[in-house]
Structures are given as C-alpha cells and as structure tokens.
Structure 1
Amino acid sequence: MKLKAVIFDFGNVIINIDIPRTFQAFASFTGKRQAVIEKLIVENQLFRRYETGQFTDIEFREIVRQTVGFPLSDNEVDVAWNSLLLDIPERRIDLLKEIRKKYPIYLLSNTNNIHIEASNSYLKKTFGLKHLDELFDQLFLSYEIGMWKPDAEIYKYVLDSIKLKPQEVLFLDDNHHNIQAANALGMQTILVEPPTCITEYCKTIF
C-alpha cells in the first residue's frame, strides 16, 4: 500500500541519548553507587510513571528525592534527569525537512515535560527553532496523551488521529519492542540501531 505518512520516535532516532548518564549524574549528586540509583529508578518505574503523565514536574522532583533518598535541589534533579540528552545532528534536521516536502511527518515519543523543555531549549540555541512542533505536523507525546509505547492503544490513537490505516504509515524507532508492537498492527517499520543514523536508513526510501 502507498506510503502516506512517516512517524518518528525521538530518543536515538532524532536526538542522541545515553540513559546511563542520568544514573551516573544522580550517583554523583548523592554519593551513592550508580547501580543502586539505577535499581531504585527502575524498580519504582519512574520513567513510565512520569512519562504517562501520572504526576506533575513538581511532584516528579519530590518523588525522585524520595526514591533516591537524598535532598536534591530542583535544579540538581533536572540536571541529572536531562543528562541523558545529547545532541541532534544537523543532517537529521535537514532530513526531516526534506521528507516533510513529500509526506506529513509525526513524532511519537515516550517522554516527559522536563526532557521536552530541555530539547526545545537546545533546538532554539542550536538551530533557531522555538519548539519541536516546528519540525513535525503533529507531536504525540506520551505524557500528554497518557499512553505508552509499546502498548497497542498508543499506536491506534495516533492512527485514528491522523486518519490513516496502519499499512499507510512508516514508523522508525530504536526499541525492538516498540517496532514489534507496530508491526503487529500492520505498520511499516524500521528498527533504528545506533550509531547508524536515520539518514542511512532513509536515503534509499525517500
């Protein structure tokens, strides 16, 4: 079936990320071992809970303090939490602009407000873009819609919103569970495996 839209994940597809850097940063601030910090954050499902909108930024920071057992300042929480965010290569920005001339493009990301605000600040400083939505036709952010990849409901929500059939959409993500879930619904998919850039995957398609 003819391709009618392209959906991109954010982390490691558009922006490079390194999740262990966040655990390292919290360990540095608290003086606790990185493995202990990671275990606490994972066991308490902080990513999923925050990224499905279960609490506000203020509540999140307090929950982080309770989880790691240390009186971190708001700034220390934000700095550590944003440590996983790296850079966006300019060639990816250029690619999005080129693809958007041919197809509507969307962002579908498990993310949170603190990361999005930091990413917007980076985009403004680096590329003069005020907000991520300048690059996409629409953003589907987990914390805003209360859904999470790879749960099937989030893909169905996006498809209903853009009024397309699964087979008419190409989805790029770096997580094989997310790709498998999209495949199960009939979406066309590309598993992005860093350090290979999306420009390499897309050059023979668009």
Structure 2
Amino acid sequence: MENNYKAIVFDFGNVIIDIDLNLTYKKFAELTFKKPEKIKAIFEENSLFEKFETGHFDENEFRDVVRQILGFPLNDNEIDLAWNSLLLEVPSHRFDYLERLRTKMPIYLLSNTNSIHIKKCKSYFRLKFGISDFTQLFRESFLSYEIELWKPDYKIYDYVLKSIKLDASEVLFLDDNADNIQAASDLGIQTIKINPPECFTDVLSKIYLDV
C-alpha cells in the first residue's frame, strides 16, 4: 500500500475498543429467561441495532422497544447494563498510539453506534485515561446516531468525504467488518481490514515507523 493518504478514518468497535456482541445477547437472555440465540434473532428481526443507531428513536423509546420485543418488564438500568455489556477494553497502547498519531496526521472516527454506548465509553475513557471526552482524540467524529447514516451504506462514506474535504483516494479507512470495508473500497477509499485480535497499532506501525 502506498502511503499517499492525507487522513485516517477509524472504526470504533473491535478496532479501538474490544467488543463482544454475544455478551449482550447473553445478558438479556439471563434477564428474560430466554436463550441467547433467541435474543439475537429477536434483535435482528426488529433491526434493533440499525434503528437505534440511525436515530429512529431516542433512549427512552429504545428501552420501551426492548421491553416490547422481548415481552419482559425490564427496568431502565437493567436494559442499559445488558446493552453495554458488549463493551470491553481499550488497551493502553492503542490510546497512546492515537495520541501520537494525531500529531502527525488528521484522524477521524466513523462508527455505527448509539448514545447509550457513547455515554458509557466516555465514562470509561475518563476513568482509565483521564480524558473528559474520548472523541477529542479525533479531528471529527462521525457517529451514526447523530448523522442518521449507517455503514455500509455508501451515503455515510460520501458524507465523511464531503465533511473532511478530501478525495476518496486520499483517505485510509480501518474497520473490522468486511461489508464496511468493501463499501468504502467501492468508492475508491484505501482500506485495511482489521481482524481481531489483530491490533491496528501493529498494522500502522509498518507504515508509520516514527509514531
């Protein structure tokens, strides 16, 4: 890969922060006495992630939808804890690398996410790294629930390119999802697929020897 790009765009889940969706399915299963596979199927049938993460409903509406589709009277705290259980750790060396990289090149965040997860992550970064708002690591953060667009829709990549005022070929995009990578590549964006437990720091260190 030629190092001819002018910005790097990072996915969040399983690139910067480790996540495990199965933990959320498992936690909701424990709370509702259903099997994790059933929880996953219900969420997928109702497009729960996509709808919440594109701003179709706010947090209170989301919790009501969860109660409705699961047919169980969970309280708000139970829902939030189960929903956030997929969020794991950010290894310190990733945070340190981003802090160094941002002094050498514009870096951006592009994530399919929601307000409940973002609030939890902001709290996590405050406690672990002492940063009041982790999105400050990036020149700009493109969060699906705020811009009401979702990967891998081409529109979200067009939105980012127009916002940062760069051509597709001038941008490097890192994501762990093959569909997201393919869509970005279709538009001419340079891409690297991260395959957990592979770490983006190892990948980029081969390109940026001085970070």
- What TM-score, normalized by structure 2, do the two folds share? 0.96
Please name the residue that 1:83 is paired with.
85
Q: Which amino acid aligns with 1:175?
A: N
Of 136, 139, 146, 2:138 maps to 136
Instruction: Using the TM superposition, give the Cα deviation of residue 102 of structure 1 relative to its aligned residue in structure 2, in angstroms.
Output: 1.2
Instruction: Using the TM superposition, give the Cα deviation of residue 199 of structure 1 relative to its aligned residue in structure 2, in angstroms.
Output: 1.0
* In structure 2, distance between residues paired with 1:112 and 1:169: 25
Q: How does 1:75-154 map to 2 (within 5 A)?
A: 75-154=77-156
Please name the residue that 1:23 is paired with.
25
Instruction: Using the TM superposition, give the Cα deviation of residue 124 of structure 1 relative to its aligned residue in structure 2, in angstroms.
Output: 0.3
Please name the residue that 1:189 is paired with.
191
How many residues were matched structurally? 206
* In structure 2, distance between residues paired with 1:6 and 1:175: 17
* In structure 1, distance between residues paired with 2:179 and 2:40: 21
Instruction: Using the TM superposition, give the Cα deviation of residue 68 of structure 1 relative to its aligned residue in structure 2, in angstroms.
Output: 0.8
* In structure 1, distance between residues paired with 2:173 and 2:27: 32
Deviations 1:52-79 (A, max 9, x none): 0000000000000001110000000000
* In structure 2, distance between residues paired with 1:80 and 1:200: 32
* In structure 2, distance between residues paired with 1:180 and 1:103: 24
RMSD of aligned C-alpha atoms? 0.8
Q: Which amino acid aligns with 2:205?
A: K
SS at match of 1:84: coil
Percent of residue pairs bearing the same amino acid type: 55
User: Which blocks of at least 5 consecutive residues in structure 2 are unaligned?
Assistant: none
Instruction: Using the TM superposition, give the Cα deviation of residue 183 of structure 1 relative to its aligned residue in structure 2, in angstroms.
Output: 0.4
Deviates more, 1:132-141 or 1:167-176: 132-141
* In structure 2, distance between residues paired with 1:6 and 1:33: 40
- What TM-score, normalized by structure 1, do the two folds share? 0.98
Please name the residue that 1:64 is paired with.
66
Q: How does 1:39-54 map to 2 (within 5 A)?
A: 39-54=41-56
User: Which blocks of at least 5 consecutive residues in structure 1 are unaligned?
Assistant: none
* In structure 2, distance between residues paired with 1:9 and 1:43: 25
Of 8, 11, 14, 2:13 maps to 11
Instruction: Using the TM superposition, give the Cα deviation of residue 101 of structure 1 relative to its aligned residue in structure 2, in angstroms.
Output: 1.3
* In structure 2, distance between residues paired with 1:161 and 1:37: 37
Instruction: Using the TM superposition, give the Cα deviation of residue 127 of structure 1 relative to its aligned residue in structure 2, in angstroms.
Output: 0.5
SS at match of 1:150: coil
Could you list the structure 1 runs, at least 4 aligned residues long, displaced by more than 6 angstroms after superposition: none
Of 156, 159, 174, 1:172 maps to 174
Q: Which amino acid aligns with 2:5?
A: L
Please name the residue that 1:74 is paired with.
76
Instruction: Using the TM superposition, give the Cα deviation of residue 103 of structure 1 relative to its aligned residue in structure 2, in angstroms.
Output: 0.7
Q: Which amino acid aligns with 1:130?
A: S
* In structure 1, distance between residues paired with 2:179 and 2:121: 24
Instruction: Using the TM superposition, give the Cα deviation of residue 20 of structure 1 relative to its aligned residue in structure 2, in angstroms.
Output: 0.5
